Every structure is written in C-alpha cells, then in structure tokens.
C-alpha cells in the first residue's frame, strides 16, 4: 500500500519529503513529520478487502506451471482444468473477505517551520524544527508543553532514555545536549561532541549511557550522568555514519554508513579507559 503522508510543499508536486518517523509506545501506530511543516499521527488498522476466487485460482495455476518449469505437454487433465477456469464471466466469480494491514490518518499538527525530526517521549512528542528549536507537545491533545532552545543549527536526531527522564538531541552544530523531560531544562552539553554534524543518537536501554554517530565517520559512547566520553569507534573510516541502533539488552550495536556497510559491535568484558 502506498500512502502520500505529507502534502506538496510546492505547486505541481504530489507530496513532500517525510523527514522523520517515530513509533508509539504501545506499537499501535506511529508519527511522521515532513518538509510541509506538519506532524501527523497514524494508527495501524485491519481492513477487510474482497478477494475473488478467480484470483486465487490464477495464483494456483501460476504456482503449478512454475513447478512444471516448461512441461508443455501437461496432460489432458491440466488442459481441461484451464478450459474450465476460463468459462463464465469474471464478475460472476464468488468472492471472500480477507484482512489487510493498513494505516489510518488520525490527527495533524501544523508547525510554523519545516519539521526535521520527531521522537515519542512517553505521553509527549518532541518535534525538531528548521529554526533550531525543539517543540515538545502533549501527544493526546497536541498542545505545546514547552520549547527547547540552545542549539545553534537545526537538530537532526533525538532519543530518550528508558525511564523517560532525559531527552538527547544532536545537531548540525556538532553538539549533543541532554534535557530534563519534566521541565525541559538543559542538563548537560557536549560541545563539540563530534568534528561534524550529528546524524543519530540513541540510549542504551535501562541506562543513561548513549551512542552518537556523525558525518565525521565516528561512533562515540558517552556517560550521560557524568558527561564522560567513554569510547570512540572509528570502524567506518572517513565515511559518514548515518544511523545506529542498540539491542534491547545492550549486548550489541549496529551502525550503517556511507561506505555501504552495516557493522555490528559486540559488548565485551574487556576493561577500557575513558578517553
């Protein structure tokens, strides 16, 4: 199924770019944000679709012919079945109902500027705008809770810890900031966190440790409580690192970069010294 999630930003085009997507805590839907300045809430739905018996028979015939792999002689029985399937009007074929997973647009929040990233923080929704601010709204009412100011260039990535106490934001200004969820206060600033703009940030589950990656080709490991830079992983070389993800148990990390590689980093018991 193809859905035009965001409307055109310029006349004559059918849709605009989707810049961010965030799943909901209950896995019942997701939120998108786009270049048109809108934030849209979507829910998963199961729709009933009509499926004709003819379509199922055609599918079986294709599988059968594929198994024979060029056996043209087929026998009288196969020929009789084909002739029988083609008798009658296609519109008269009986139909049956099937369930198909789809999405339904529920609500829209229009922002004052282009939206670059979105992240769900429990009952809150953090939206990064082109004007360098982060607007935090209540997911239920879509009313503004507070705004986060401090980055000098637009925010490109966000994350939240497991206990919903900290929001991490990475920016094109090379800095990483930690914000308190309750009042939106800036708890800590890592500047510069990288030698180029950040592209992704994520917390290690059940901890305040976090990983970042950037266009400088580096993956870095941080302690959000002490502010220490713990480790650097230069596996992608000079190429940009675009995204990363940590396993639920924190046992391994996956990164992907401009060098067209996906790298898996495993946690070991070997001691290391903070850099």
For the cut 70, the answer to whether the pLDDT of residue 28 exceeds it is yes
Lowest mean pLDDT among 38-47, 75-84, 105-114, 261-270: 75-84
Lowest mean pLDDT among 1-10, 84-93, 125-134, 262-271: 84-93
Going from the C-alpha of 77 to that of each of 53, 122, 227, the distances in angstroms are 20, 62, 76
Burial of 34 (0-12, 13-18, 19+ CB in 10 A): buried
Q: What is the pLDDT of residue 211?
A: 97
- Which among 163, 61, 153 is positioned nearest to 121, based on CA atoms? 163
Arithmetic mean of pLDDT, 249-263: 94
Determine contact, residues 194/174, Cβ cutoff 8 Å: yes
**Residue 96 CB coordination number (10 Å):** 11
Lowest mean pLDDT among 9-23, 130-144, 231-245: 9-23
Arithmetic mean of pLDDT, 207-235: 94
DSSP assignment letter at 221: E
For the cut 60, the answer to whether the pLDDT of residue 76 exceeds it is no
Lowest mean pLDDT among 56-60, 152-156, 200-204, 226-230: 56-60
**Which residue would you say has higher pLDDT here, 68 or 95?**
95
Arithmetic mean of pLDDT, 131-152: 96
């Amino acid at each position: 199924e193809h859905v035009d999630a965001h409307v055109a930003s310029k006349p004559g085009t059918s849709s605009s770019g989707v810049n961010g997507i965030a799943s909901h805590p209950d896995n019942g839907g997701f939120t998108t944000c786009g270049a048109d300045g809108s934030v849209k809430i979507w829910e998963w739905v199961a729709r009933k679709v009509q499926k004709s018996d003819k379509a199922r028979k055609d599918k079986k015939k294709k599988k059968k012919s594929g198994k024979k792999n060029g056996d043209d002689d087929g026998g009288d029985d196969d020929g009789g079945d084909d002739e029988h399937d083609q008798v009658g009007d296609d519109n008269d074929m009986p139909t049956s109902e099937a369930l198909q997973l789809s999405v339904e647009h529920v609500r829209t929040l229009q922002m004052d500027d282009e939206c670059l990233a979105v992240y769900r923080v429990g009952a809150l929704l953090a939206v990064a705008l082109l004007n360098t601010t982060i607007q935090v709204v209540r997911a239920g009412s879509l009313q503004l809770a507070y705004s986060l100011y401090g980055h000098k260039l637009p925010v490109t990535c966000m994350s939240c810890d497991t206990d919903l106490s900290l929001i991490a934001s990475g920016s094109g200004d090379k800095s990483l900031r930690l914000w308190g969820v309750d009042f939106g206060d800036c708890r800590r600033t890592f500047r510069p966190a990288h030698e180029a703009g950040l592209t992704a940030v994520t917390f290690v589950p059940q901890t305040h440790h976090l990983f970042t990656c950037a266009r400088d080709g580096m993956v870095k490991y941080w302690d959000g409580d002490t502010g220490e830079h713990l480790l650097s992983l230069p596996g992608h070389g000079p190429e940009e690192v675009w995204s990363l993800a940590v396993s639920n148990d924190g046992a391994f990390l996956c990164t992907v970069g401009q060098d067209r590689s996906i790298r898996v980093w495993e946690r070991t018991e070997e001691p290391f010294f903070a850099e």
